Amino acid sequence: MAKGFGRHGKKEKVQFFRYARGSVYECLDWNEKCRVRKLLTQEDYTYVFSVLQNSPKMLNSLIKVTNMNLQQ
């Protein structure tokens, strides 16, 4: 997400945050697939899930704030 702060325009930042949000959901999906295939221990699965689960909320907040700033 740090790359998003190097973006120049607000619209470009919003687009980047949306791509990042999609990537988080993809990571959550792969985390689940790895658990089902027994490639991760339950402990590792839980850790990765706990790290990722709040990321979409944070990205949604960034999108909302950036969009509000676009309207000003």
pLDDT, position 3: 54
Using pLDDT thresholds of 50, 70 and 90, give the confidence band for residue 10: confident
22-66 pLDDT, tens digit per residue, is 999 999 999 999 999 999 999 999 999 999 999 999 999 999 999
Task: Please list, in sequence order, all residues whose beta carbon lies within 8 angstroms of the beta carbon of residue 69, skipping any fewer than 6 positions away.
Answer: 10
| pTM, full prediction | 0.79
pLDDT, position 40: 96
pLDDT, position 56: 95
pLDDT, position 23: 97
Measured between alpha carbons, how far is residue 9 from residues 16, 22, 27 in Å?
11, 20, 27
